[in-house]
Amino acid sequence: MDKQLFQKLKLLQADQKPSFGIMTPQHMVEHLILTLKLSQGKIQVPTIKPTPEALAIKHNIIVEKENIPRGIQAPGTNGTLLPLRYNSLEEAKAELLKAWQQFELYYFQHTDATNVHPFFGELNYSEWKSFHSKHFQHHFSQFDIDFKH
């Protein structure tokens, strides 16, 4: 996915407007960085017991490979944007590429690791990779960039 991610990031421009949602291109990239860090246990969230609704969504996204529905809010955001952490979209893009490589390396070194997803509970590498693929596709589609993996 490294090569595809690099190619799709080149299409993303700072002044692009989303076709849905409230994120700017930089907010979207930084959001994806956070989820990659979350999947490696670099950001800790409490272990949860997923609700039946969350388990159904998890099955649809991870097993059935369905698209993530529009309108789902990131946990803890209350529908608002988080402050930006990077000085520019270009800096955030570079960090996203690095975060993806770190994700792959982490699970290469920790093959049996699981980490908590805030809706779905514990996920292993295969589940996280499936989630990230659909999550990236969802957010790139906000800016009309086709991202299929």
SS3 21: coil
Residue 147 has pLDDT above 90, yes or no: no
pLDDT tens for residues 134-143?
A: 999 999 999 9
pLDDT tens for residues 109-146?
A: 999 999 999 999 999 999 999 999 999 999 999 999 99
Polymer length in residues for the chain = 149
Note whether 45 and 38 are within 8 A (CB): yes
DSSP-derived secondary structure for 98-147: HHHHHHHHHHHH-TT-EEEETTTEEEEHHHHHHHHHHHHHHHHHTTT---
> For 69-80, what is the mean pLDDT?
75
Task: Return d(Cα 129, Cα 149) in angstroms, integer.
Answer: 10
DSSP 16: P
pLDDT tens for residues 83-105?
A: 999 999 999 999 999 999 999 99
